[in-house]
Amino acid sequence: MSTVLTGITTTGSPHLGNYVGAIKPAIISSQETDMKSYFFLADHHALIKCWEPDRIAQSTKEIAATWLALGLDTDRAVFYRQSDVPEIPELTWLLTCMTSKGLMNRSHAYKAQVQENTEQGEDDPDKGVTMGLFSYPVLMSADILMFNASQVPVGKDQTQHLEMARDIAARFNHHFGEHFVMPQTVVNDNVAVLPGLDGRKMSKSYNNTIPLWLPEKQLRKHIMKIKTNSLEPGEPKDPNDSFVFDIYKAFATEQQVNEMKAEFVNGIAWGTAKQMLFEMINTELQEAREKYQELMSNPDIIEAELQKGAVKARAYATPFLAKLKAAVGIRPIK
Ligand code: TRP
């Protein structure tokens, strides 16, 4: 049975891009019977880039409520908060001691910061680099190796971290025995990378997102703001050169996509196309939105779900970590 695992860093509010690119496909894959799924809220990762306690707490709540509202079956999938599994930071240390500094020097996240400092003429190339940022790939490796995940669905920007996880796992295995499965990266090309309002990839760092749980009226307003060209109603439009169409595609069935293509060729007005897009997204999210609001006003339910997940996660992590510690020589005296 293969194990799928992925985490979401808890620094922001869920948006349509997260939904289409990560959460929805994860929930669908978790319904497959031959898969074991681990989904978690990466709140230790959040600390690396965010020192706003209320924001982290609020984001954790919103992201947890999102997965639950969208129908994640928490009896099947293991759904937990990273910080509720103390075995993970413990494993992080064991792995840190097996990780060469040179490997971390090559991490994109770290190098990007150094490059920015250099470009800005800073004397200290490591300005703003915490040890959290520097050794972030080790924590991520621990997340994955703790549960011997074989498949890790992530965005393309995370593939280097997965290579590092395999490097670290292989070194540990080499010294202490075959404990870890080599995790494979799953970059799903069928899953759409959603454009944001300005056409660049929808991302909170570009400030171009459509939040997932906007009330109906505001959702419509946001969709009306998606960038288009200035072609008039009646003028034929190219579906392959339209952000409205790109987003529509991510939600529609094949038949609906073909119908919309025909509408474009027939010169549908941008306002009408956007209205159709709004209706499609709104219909898909309507029921879950109510569920989400209900969960947000009943935080105890969310907390109880996460505690249930932590128990399940630790049922695997506790004995596995004990075995790993014994392997490195941390054992009861005898
Ligand atoms: N670093 C990932 C991101 O920023 C989130 C993450 C943390 C993760 N730990 C993970 C993803 C383990 C997959 C597996 O998107």
Backbone angles phi, psi at 78, to 5 degrees: -95, 115
CA 162–ligand 1 middle distance (angstroms): 9
Q: Residues with Cβ within 6 A of ligand 1?
A: 5-7, 9, 42, 45, 140, 143-144, 152, 154, 158
Using alpha carbons, list the distances in angstroms from residue 75 to 26, 31, 62, 317, 319.
Answer: 15, 11, 20, 18, 21
Which residue, by CA, sits nearest to atom 9 of ligand 1? Answer: 140
Inter-axis angle of helices 243-251 and 270-296, nearest 10: 50
Secondary structure letter of residue 190 according to DSSP: T
Q: What residue ranges of the chain have pLDDT lower than 50?
A: none
Q: Has this prediction a pTM greater than 0.85?
A: yes
Q: For residues 107 and 157, is the Cβ–Cβ distance under 8 A?
A: no
What local confidence, expressed as pLDDT, does residue 155 receive? 86
Which residue, by CA, sits nearest to atom 14 of ligand 1? Answer: 6
What local confidence, expressed as pLDDT, does residue 1 receive? 83
- How would DSSP label each residue in 136-185? HHHHHHHHHHTTT-SEEE--GGGHHHHHHHHHHHHHHHHHH-S----PEE
% of the chain with per-residue pLDDT over 70: 100
Which residue, by CA, sits nearest to atom 11 of ligand 1? Answer: 7
Secondary structure letter of residue 231 according to DSSP: P
What local confidence, expressed as pLDDT, does residue 191 receive? 73
In three-state secondary structure terms, 333 is coil
What are the strands, taking DSSP E only, across 175-262? 184-186
Asked whether the CA dihedral 47, 50, 51, 57 is positive or negative, the reply is negative
Mutate to test the pocket of ligand 1, among 45, 147, 152, 186 (most ligand atoms within 8 A of CB): 45
The whole-angstrom separation of Cα 282 and Cα 214 is: 10
The whole-angstrom separation of Cα 19 and Cα 212 is: 7
What local confidence, expressed as pLDDT, does residue 58 receive? 98
